[in-house]
Structure 1
Amino acid sequence: MIRAFLIVLLLSLAACGNGQDNGPLRTDVIGEAAALADPIRRPPSEHGAFVLDAMAQGLVAIDADGEIEPALARRWTVLDDGRTYIFRLDDFVWQDGTALTAGQIARQLRAARRGGPRSRVAPVLTDIEEVNAVTPQILEVRLTRPRLDFLHILASAELAMVIENEGLGPYALADGYALDDEAPALLSPLRPPIDEEDDETAPPPPIAPEETVELHFTRAALAVARFDLGRTDIVLGGRWTTLPLAEAIDPAAANLVLDPTDGLFGLAFVEQAGFLANADNRRVLSMTVDRAQLVALLGRDEAEAREVIMASDAEDIAPVAAPAWIEADLEGRRQFGRAAVSIWRAANGEIEPLRIALPDEPGSRPIFAILRNSWRAIGIEVERVAWDADADLRLVDRIAATPSASWYLQQFHCERGLPCSQAYEEALSLIDETRSPRAYALRIADAAAELEAMTPFIPLLRPIRWSLISSRISGFRANRYASHPLDTLLDGGD
């Protein structure tokens, strides 16, 4: 069925022809277009983060290997056992001719630290004690305690410098183009004027077509069809729920690449009434999902089942005891679940079918089927609802921005509207008050245990991002952050 749908799309696109290797880098990003905007005032979606990575920069960035590299900062020094960072800015100039200054970045970091309830970075910036512009080119950041993931935090799209909807590259929107879903946008590399010996500046050299990027934001099915016809060089932003579309065109192994990302892929409890108000009931739902069947259905090595929220290789955390139910087999869990549901129903009456919101994508169907069968086995019925409809559970698919365990904890702050507890908030407060690295790891472990106990989320799988890459792409490298800078895709960034 998926293949037949793609054939129709292919026929409709066939008359448009193929591109050339010396033209713009033709890039399809799965999802809705997002304009460049201040990420502090408007927290970006994943598509918005892609635009920020292309058209704005922070102090540092994540390169094509998933490693930290210089961006606005030319270099940096770490002092005081990781408590002080000194950044030396590179020479960047805004469109009005004024230079980027350390003072501008200091103001941005302070604003991000204050952040509102929707901010994803404000909670992880609480360790910033002081930010000082020592000179126009030197920035000092002091932390209350060392953070091994601090540079990863600074590399997040939420900390890209944007002033009056203007970024500092590596690309800018070409004249006459807009970032929308109606037509492709053209991105051109930002180049500073060339300094001449007489203190005057010459215009930058002309930009070759292959240095530009033709950027499409589109639906997954259309992006895959365009790739199959040779009308795009690369497709970015694929997920588990859209992977069947890519597999339907039977691409070579070298053309379909999955990033080994980490983070969250599962169901968030967005409703907390009735049966779902009790953490024990939410835990029953989590323990009785047949994750092994889900892994088998997906049929890929990257399909790694997750039974706890925290990734096993998360950093900065002391060992955490696994929940007791993990040692039981699935049938034993279901027996326990059936008993728990029967007891609750006898005391409280019938349980309304649980509403599950999943994206309207082909990979959602097997996920829903397994959830329905898993919970029907314990006496719970479910129904699938539209992605934007009221729901009891909603799919979350999010890549971890840092390797630290604290990232997972910050996703479940009480103000996010998911099930929470006073004990969890107190555990997070104790982390903020801790200065010793060893005590910090123990506090993180305590909070992780409380997070599992309150069960705001049902982990299902390790998240992935997939890409379709043509033979033109020589600089693509899979990495844990699914970071693929556009300016490295054709030459590897060398």
Structure 2
Amino acid sequence: MAALLLLAAVTGLNGCRKAEGGAVDAVVIAERPPKLADPLAADLAPADLLLVGNVAQGLVRFDAAGDIAPGLAERWAVSDDGLSYVFRLRTASWSDGRKVRARDVVRLIERQLDRRSRNPLFDTIGAVREVVAMTDRVIAVELNAPRPHLLQLLAQPEFGLVRGGGGTGPFTDSTEGGAIDLVRTLPGFDGDEAQQQRVRLTAAPAQRAIESFVGGDSELVLGGTVADFPLASAAKLPRNTLRIDPVLGLFGLVPARDEGPAADLETRALLDEAIDRDALVAALAVPGLQPRLSLLQPGLDLADGPALPAWAPLTLEQRRPDLLVRAREIFPLASGSQPPPTLEPRKTISLALPDGPGGAIILARLKADWEPLGVQVVEAGDGPADFRFIDEVAPSSSPAWFLRRFRCEFTAICSEQADQLLDAARLTGFPPQRARFFVDAERIMREEVLFLPIAAPVRWSLAGRDVQGFAENRFGRHTLTDLRMAPNARD
């Protein structure tokens, strides 16, 4: 009986120790505290983007569920032809007290859209023709072709508006003792006093962040990936506190250089077909994670279903004899040798994988799948990698981001024909034709094995029972607003 009471006390710690309405203690998984910096000036870490999204919102932002919510723009309208978005700015001031004016916001957005920008989303949002300040509080974004996913892109923290080292909210921030204190003030109604929402944000490595949550010292942990998911899975967490985002994106291997094994199409095709995706996903043990054979993910806005390889209907056991025959042809034995029952390593494949137990699981599974073919699989470390692991969340539900990620401008191995189709898709104003260009480009990329897909990305969080305003979402972006509010009570 005593043991049961102790267990109940331990698992109930999280949430009970916090006074209702008090500051939420949140931890983001990172090696250093997040910093508020202009996304244009530096390559920001995920923890930095979390802070930017909550302190320096863009024209629009995401709510807890991943839906579009007002940001600096209090409302907007879209023309019937989808070529013009008009935003009305709310009354606001920058951190130095200067009033926000449309012309200042236009200058910031134009910098974000410049090809010289370090904004990683500039290529995805390339249909913008111009941004115009119509009045002091009205901005028009004019497009060359309709982009129904524009608001999803503008809501990303990469389009947060940072000026003079500050933003326009929804929180203001101050740093004290290594923690970032975030405050959001909500006006009172009908004579009521103004209300404040407070979040105390700190950073810690995954293991320490999980221990902090289990011990009741924090109520929210953000920023989990496949690299550290096994740590969360192994912890004795309170029931229903592990939350998995149903994100879209890329999770697999991409050729990292234009020489060596990855530069050979037959080798890429062999390795792609030999991956036991069911076993790899099972080893990761992420709830709801499904193996994937396609570059594009089901659930996107597609004219047809994602392109699948010809071998997709066959089980791995049915494919295995042919894999062994092809492996002997691709990796020939020394002259006069006889092929052994199990092929000896005759080719080394180096992989750049995420640090952490999740990366170790991926490496072990790829070794099990590829080494019977006569391939030695090693981690690249500081040396050159043949394949690099990608675990990236899509910023919108458009196929464009997935496909443009593999353009010749960005990857070591590419298809010029697919690039031409993507250029044509960008120029056309006819949505069905654009969708057809995407279908054809994906088919070529899959045939050329420009990407070895495995599953969807993995993003996880821990949320205590008093953090009722937290919700999983398809973008893996989490606002820190309204964390104490039940979903049906949010503003």
What is the CA-CA distance between 1:117 and the residue it aligns to? Answer: 7.5
Task: Report the equivalent of 2:370.
Answer: 375
Kindly tell me: are residues 263 and 41 of structure 1, through their superposed partners in 2, closer, same or farther at Cα, counting changes over 3 Å? same
| Secondary structure at the counterpart of residue 140 of structure 1 | strand
Render the CA deviation track for 1:242-291: whole Å, top value 9, x for unaligned: 22211222324421111111111122221332221122321221111001
Aligned residues: 461
Contact 2:350-2:385 at 8 Å conserved across structures? yes
Task: Report the equivalent of 2:313.
Answer: 327
2:81 paired with 1:84:
no
2:471 paired with 1:477:
yes
What is the CA-CA distance between 1:175 and the residue it aligns to? Answer: 5.4
Q: What CA distance in whole angstroms lies between the structure 2 residues aligned with 1:101 and 1:352?
A: 61
What is the CA-CA distance between 1:405 and the residue it aligns to? Answer: 0.6
2:431 to 432, 437, 440: 437
Contact 1:420-1:456 at 8 Å conserved across structures? yes
Letter in 2 for 1:476: F
Aligned residue runs from structure 1 range 43-442, under 5 A: 43-116=43-116, 118-174=118-174, 176=176, 183-189=178-184, 211-346=197-332, 351-386=346-381, 390-442=384-436
Q: What CA distance in whole angstroms lies between the structure 2 residues aligned with 1:414 and 1:120?
A: 16
Task: Report the equivalent of 1:448.
Answer: 442
Greater displacement, 428-437 / 296-305: 296-305
Letter in 1 for 2:351: I
What is the CA-CA distance between 1:293 and the residue it aligns to? Answer: 0.9
Render the CA deviation track for 1:136-175: whole Å, top value 9, x for unaligned: 1111111111111011011111111111321111223215
Q: What CA distance in whole angstroms lies between the structure 2 residues aligned with 1:93 and 1:190?
A: 14
| Secondary structure at the counterpart of residue 61 of structure 1 | strand
2:454 paired with 1:487:
no
Q: What CA distance in whole angstroms lies between the structure 2 residues aligned with 1:433 and 1:165?
A: 37
Contact 1:18-1:229 at 8 Å conserved across structures? no
Render the CA deviation track for 1:332-360: whole Å, top value 9, x for unaligned: 43333333332222399985421222223
| Secondary structure at the counterpart of residue 414 of structure 1 | coil
Normalising by structure 1, we get a TM-score of: 0.86
Q: What CA distance in whole angstroms lies between the structure 2 residues aligned with 1:348 and 1:268?
A: 30
Contact 1:35-1:51 at 8 Å conserved across structures? yes
Kindly tell me: are residues 108 and 333 of structure 1, through their superposed partners in 2, closer, same or farther at Cα, counting changes over 3 Å? farther
Q: What CA distance in whole angstroms lies between the structure 1 residues aligned with 2:429 and 2:243?
A: 41
Contact 1:345-1:351 at 8 Å conserved across structures? yes
What is the CA-CA distance between 1:225 and the residue it aligns to? Answer: 0.7
Render the CA deviation track for 1:428-474: whole Å, top value 9, x for unaligned: 21112211111111011111112212323221121221111112211
Kindly tell me: are residues 470 and 482 of structure 1, through their superposed partners in 2, closer, same or farther at Cα, counting changes over 3 Å? same
Letter in 1 for 2:404: Q
Letter in 2 for 1:338: L
| Secondary structure at the counterpart of residue 333 of structure 1 | helix
What is the CA-CA distance between 1:115 and the residue it aligns to? Answer: 2.6
Task: Report the equivalent of 1:4.
Answer: none
State the percentage of identical aligned residues. Answer: 31
| Larger relative helix fraction | 1
What is the CA-CA distance between 1:389 and the residue it aligns to? Answer: 5.1
Kindly tell me: are residues 29 and 269 of structure 1, through their superposed partners in 2, closer, same or farther at Cα, counting changes over 3 Å? same
Letter in 1 for 2:38: D
Contact 2:295-2:306 at 8 Å conserved across structures? no
Task: Report the equivalent of 2:342.
Answer: none
Greater displacement, 233-242 / 168-177: 168-177
Q: What CA distance in whole angstroms lies between the structure 2 residues aligned with 1:162 and 1:115?
A: 19
Letter in 1 for 2:359: S
Contact 2:131-2:140 at 8 Å conserved across structures? yes
| Secondary structure at the counterpart of residue 282 of structure 1 | helix
